[in-house]
Structure 1
Amino acid sequence: MAADVGPGMWIVKHVHRFNEHAIASLVPPVFDSYARIFHPAMAIDGEPVRWTDVAVANGTTAHPTMEWGSLVGSWHTPEQPGVWQEAPEQGSLPPRAARSLVGVLRRLHPDTRYLLVRPLARIRPHHRSRKLSRLPMPSREDMVLFSGDIDLADTQFGGGMLGMSAHLWWPEDRAWCVATDIDLMTTYLGASAECVEAVLTAPELEALPATSDQKITWDSDTVNPLPGSPSSGF
Structure 2
Amino acid sequence: MSMEGLQAAAAPAVGDWIAPRLRGDFGAVCRTVPRGYPAYARILHPVEPDAGDQAGPTTWAGVCARTGRTPHALMQWEAITTPAPPPRSGREVVLSREGRWDEVQVRRGILLPQALSPLLDVLAPFTGEQDCHHALWEGWGWLTGGSAFLTFSSAGGPQSPAPTRAATPDVLEQALNASRLSLPGREYLLFTGPLHAALGMGDQVTDDWFDPQSPNLLWPADRSWCLATEIDFDSTLIAGPVDLIDAVLAAPALEAWPVHEDDDLSAFADHLNT
Shorter-chain TM-score category?
0.7 to 0.9
The residue number in structure 2 matching 1:172 is 221
Matched, 1:148 2:193: yes
Aligned-partner residue type, residue 195 of structure 1: L
List aligned pairs for 1:61-140, cutoff 5 A.
61-73=70-82, 77=100, 79-80=102-103, 86-110=104-128, 111-121=130-140, 124-125=143-144, 127=173, 130-138=176-184, 140=185
The residue number in structure 2 matching 1:6 is 13
Aligned-pair identity in percent equals 28
Q: Whole-Å Cα distance in 2 between the matches of residues 8 and 47 of structure 1? A: 41
Unmatched segments (≥5 aa) in structure 1? 81-85, 226-234
Q: Which 10-residue stretch deviates more, 119-128 or 180-189? A: 119-128
3-state SS of 1:34 partner: strand
CA radius of gyration, larger in: 2
Q: Whole-Å Cα distance in 2 between the matches of residues 14 and 48 of structure 1? A: 37
Residues 71 and 78 (structure 1), Cα distance of their counterparts in 2 relative to 1, 3 Å cut: closer
Aligned-partner residue type, residue 221 of structure 1: D
RMSD, aligned CA: 2.5
Q: 8 Å contact 2:22–2:33 — kept in the other structure?
A: yes
Aligned-partner residue type, residue 7 of structure 1: V
Q: Whole-Å Cα distance in 2 between the matches of residues 122 and 10 of structure 1? A: 28
Residues 171 and 122 (structure 1), Cα distance of their counterparts in 2 relative to 1, 3 Å cut: farther
Q: 8 Å contact 1:168–1:179 — kept in the other structure?
A: yes
Aligned-partner residue type, residue 32 of structure 1: P
Residues 201 and 35 (structure 1), Cα distance of their counterparts in 2 relative to 1, 3 Å cut: same
Q: 8 Å contact 1:122–1:157 — kept in the other structure?
A: no
Displacement of 1:142 in angstroms is 1.5
The residue number in structure 2 matching 1:28 is 34
Unmatched segments (≥5 aa) in structure 2? 1-7, 84-95, 146-172
Residues 169 and 47 (structure 1), Cα distance of their counterparts in 2 relative to 1, 3 Å cut: farther
3-state SS of 2:61 partner: helix
Displacement of 1:122 in angstroms is 5.0
Q: Whole-Å Cα distance in 2 between the matches of residues 176 and 206 of structure 1? A: 19
Aligned-partner residue type, residue 198 of structure 1: A
Displacement of 1:51 in angstroms is 0.4
Q: Whole-Å Cα distance in 2 between the matches of residues 26 and 172 of structure 1? A: 19
What's the TM-score once normalised by structure 1's chain length?
0.84
How many aligned positions are there? 218
Displacement of 1:216 in angstroms is 1.8
